[in-house]
Amino acid sequence: MLEHYKNTDYWFVVNGQKITLSVGSTNSDFDSLCRDVNCKTGAFITAFNPHSSLLSISENRDRNQLLEADISNLKGIRYFYGAGEDRDNQWPAEESFMVLGLSQQTVIDLARRYQQNAFLWIEHQQAAVLIDV
């Protein structure tokens, strides 16, 4: 499954600008955003399709609302809406959140709570990586 995640575009929107991340690549727009909001880390996470089991869009959106509530209760973070889209269209797009300013362990805990296999992690001026949970 991780190979499919590597073939995904992870995009989010900040002030009308779409920023797209890819596994193994740096991103100057992400780096600029980090400088602008004074953060060093970003995590791209969803609650869609737990353990890669397809759910209906309404079930997935309900799960993402719970995840967003958990995220919004965290202190010192900013988050943006986006989606993960398989480049080969073998898997439906998953609405997601780009969360800035979390520790990697906090994201691991969230990913486990929402039964995710992995999430995208990126640090300022570093390449994005998949974190297997």
pLDDT given at position 3: 74
Mean pLDDT of the chain: 96
Confidence of residue 119 (pLDDT cuts 50, 70, 90): very high
pTM of the model: 0.95
pLDDT above 70 as % of the chain: 98
pLDDT tens digits for 81-111? Answer: 999 999 999 999 999 999 999 999 999 999 9
Domain ranges of the chain: 47-102+116-133
The whole-angstrom separation of Cα 97 and Cα 47 is 9
pLDDT given at position 4: 76
Average pLDDT value for residue range 39-64: 97
| Residue 1 pLDDT greater than 70, yes or no | no
pLDDT tens digits for 17-51? Answer: 999 999 999 999 999 999 999 999 999 999 999 99
